[in-house]
Chains A and B, each alone.
Chain A
Amino acid sequence: GAGVSQSPSNKVTEKGKDVELRCDPISGHTALYWYRQSLGQGLEFLIYFQGNSAPDKSGLPSDRFSAERTGGSVSTLTIQRTQQEDSAVYLCASSLAGEQFFGPGTRLTVL
């Protein structure tokens, strides 16, 4: 079946604007994760969903970052008042029983 999909693939925004990033997990996968990859920080965890609830939000870097998941499927990561340090590739992953599968990512550039 289809893998994890993310949209948009690229997003360029101005400092101070809000952005929404979308993730469609593999059908039937109950767990969903957001990570980001930046030059200075490598690959780092942001948030984990099990179903529609988020038992681990420990990686969100500030209160400008939020995420939700609806219907146990699609998830949206929202970044408010974007800053230049938010520029990174945002990766989504899903899993059913341990092994995580990643989407192609959204490259966010904040000017």
Chain B
Amino acid sequence: GIQVEQSPPDLILQEGANSTLRCNFSDSVNNLQWFHQNPWGQLINLFYIPSGTKQNGRLSATTVATERYSLLYISSSQTTDSGVYFCAVKSTGTASKLTFGTGTRLQVTL
């Protein structure tokens, strides 16, 4: 099946700093989503971005499907950005399931 790798696995930032999270995948996809899992375990949708670039406030994401990677940018980080960020993809060959990466754990400190 498709492999999804996220980097870095852990990241510590001071409030106000910027960061880039990366997601590499091993096969063609027709769905790619970024999630933020908050301390209570809820998966919050950030972006649905099988290709192209999107922005939402301080967050933006870019997926280059032909090169099999996606990037999530966080600018001017805040303590509320802390948590785990997951990339999940649906392979073009499957009808249904998302395959998740192992996540990037972000801690934003004062």
Contact = CB atoms under 8 A, between A and B. Distances in A.
Q: Which of B40, B45, B98, B102 has the most CB of A within 10 A?
A: B98
Main DSSP-derived SS at the A contact region: strand
A25 interface: no
Contact of B45 (A42, A50, A101, A105): A101
A12 interface: no
Nearest to B50: A98
A104 B38 CA distance: 11
B100 A31 contact: no
Interface in A44-61: 44-45, 48, 50, 55-56, 58-59
Interface of A: 31, 33, 35, 37, 42-45, 48, 50, 55-56, 58-59, 89, 91, 93, 98-102, 104-105, 107
Q: Which 6 A-B pairs have the closest CB atoms?
A: A48-B96, A45-B97, A43-B100, A99-B48, A102-B43, A56-B96
